[in-house]
Structure 1
C-alpha cells in the first residue's frame, strides 16, 4: 500500500506516518519542515516530499514523480483564533482559510486523479464543526468547509472511498498554545490509532474521543438561541 500523508512533520500526521510505515506501507510524508522530513526519511519505507500546500504549483511539482497512491490522508492544517470579533482580523481569517480549506482544493487537484480505483481519500476536519464555539470564527469556518467538501466528494466519487475525520482535542505542538481547558484531550498517538482503525474499516466518518464527540453531537439538538446563551457563558 502506498499512503501519502500531508502535515506529516508533527502531531497526528507524524504519528500516522510512523504507524503506517510500521504496518508495512510505503509512506509519502509531506510537509514544509525539511529537517523533520529528513528524520522521517531515515525509516526505510518513508519517503519525504516537501511542499507548501497553499501553493498549487509546489504541490504538483513535488508530487509529480508519483504515479499512484492507494490512500491519501489530507491532514495539514493550522489554527488561529479571533480574539476581538468586533475588530475582525481579515488577514488572520484569510490565513486560516488558505491553509485549512483552499490548500485542500490544491491537494485534491494534484492528488485525487492519482488515487487508484478502490483507493481511499481521508480528509481531516474537526469536531468544532458540530457547534459554534467562542473565538472560532476562522478555524470553525475553515473546518466546516472541509466537512462539507468531504461529504460532497463522498457523493460524487464512485471509485474512491471518502473518510471524513472529526477529532476532538488532541495534544499536539499546535494546541500547546491554547489558553483554555481542552476536555478529554488525547495524545497524537491515540488520535492516530483512532484514525487508523476507522480508516481500515472505511468508515464515512471517524470521530474521537467518542465520549467527547458524542456529547457535542447531542448538544446539537438544542435550539440555537439556547446554545448561543451557553456558549456566551463559556466565552466569559
Structure 2
C-alpha cells in the first residue's frame, strides 16, 4: 500500500474536471503539487487553495515548442517527482465520417502526443525519486471508449487506444527499473468536455468521485484503473467478443445510414 502524502506531484489538465478534483484531494494530504493546463487564469485561482503547496506551470502539453519552454520551468519548480498524472485531453467527434485531418491532429496532439511530451519532461525528475524503497509513478488518463469502436469516436477513441499501447510499451521498457506505469480508463465523467455530448451517458459520475477512484487505485498499486465496473465489465466482455458488439450494439447507436461523398 502506497500512501500519497508529502509527495512531489505534477498534474496536467488541472484547471477543470478530474485534474482539478485530484488537486483538491491531494493538497489536503500535504503534497506539493505542480499544476498545468492551457488556462493560466484558472490555474491561478486553483493555486489560491494553498499558495505555498500549489505551483503553476501553464503549458499546452500538445504543443512541442511550448513544452521546450516548460522543461526549464519545471526544473525551476522541483528537482524530483514522485507522481505524475497526465489528465489533459480533448474530444472532437467525427459526424458523418468526414475524416477531417485537422480535427484528428488536434485530438492526437492533446490525447496522445501530449502524454508523450509530459513523460519526456517528467522522466529525469521521476528518475531522481527512484530508490529501493520508492517507486515513482507515471499515470495517464485514457478512456473506456478505447475498448470497442464507438460511432463518431474515430479520432478520440483511436488516440486513447494509441495511448494504451504506448503505456504498455513504456511499462515493458521500464520493467527492470523502479518506475510504475499506470493506465487510467474512466467511463463518463461530468466535466466541461462531456457537457456538450448530445447522447445518453450511462453511469455518469462526478469529477470528485472519479478522483477518489483514481487515488484509491494508485494507492493500491494497480497498473490499470478501470471504472465504473458497471460499465467497464460489459465493455471488456464485448471487446473480447467483438462480433457481438458490431452485430447488435453498433447498429443501434450509429447515425450513418447512407454514405455521402462530397
TM-score band (shorter)?
Answer: over 0.9
C-alpha offsets along residues 47-92 of structure 1, whole Å, 9 cap, x if unaligned? 111111122313313313121110011110001100021x321110
Give the alignment partner of residue 151 of structure 1, picking from 160, 168, 179.
Answer: 168
CA distance in 2, matches of 1:58, 1:175: 30
The unaligned stretches of length 5 or more in structure 1 are none
Q: Say if 2:113 is the partner of 1:102.
A: yes
C-alpha offsets along residues 182-229 of structure 1, whole Å, 9 cap, x if unaligned? 0011100000000000011120100111111111111123243x4223
Partner of 1:88: 99
How is 1:6-155 mapped onto 2 (pairs within 5 angstroms)?
Answer: 6-44=12-50, 45-55=53-63, 56-65=67-76, 66-85=78-97, 87-115=98-126, 116-117=129-130, 118-155=135-172
- TM-score, scaled relative to structure 2: 0.86
Q: Say if 2:245 is the partner of 1:227.
A: yes
CA distance in 2, matches of 1:178, 1:123: 23
Instruction: State the SS of the aligned residue for 1:51.
Output: coil
Q: CA shift at 1:153, angstroms?
A: 1.4
Q: Is the contact between residue 50 and residue 62 of structure 1 (CA under 8 Å) also seen in structure 2?
A: no
Taking only aligned residues, the RMSD between alpha carbons, in angstroms, comes to 1.2
CA distance in 1, matches of 2:242, 2:105: 30
Q: Say if 2:178 is the partner of 1:166.
A: no
Give the alignment partner of residue 181 of structure 1, picking from 200, 209, 224.
Answer: 200
The unaligned stretches of length 5 or more in structure 2 are 1-6, 256-262
C-alpha spacing 1:198/1:207, structure 2 compared with 1 (3 Å): same
**Which structure shows the higher strand fraction?**
1
Q: Provide the aligned length of Structure 1 versus Structure 2.
A: 234
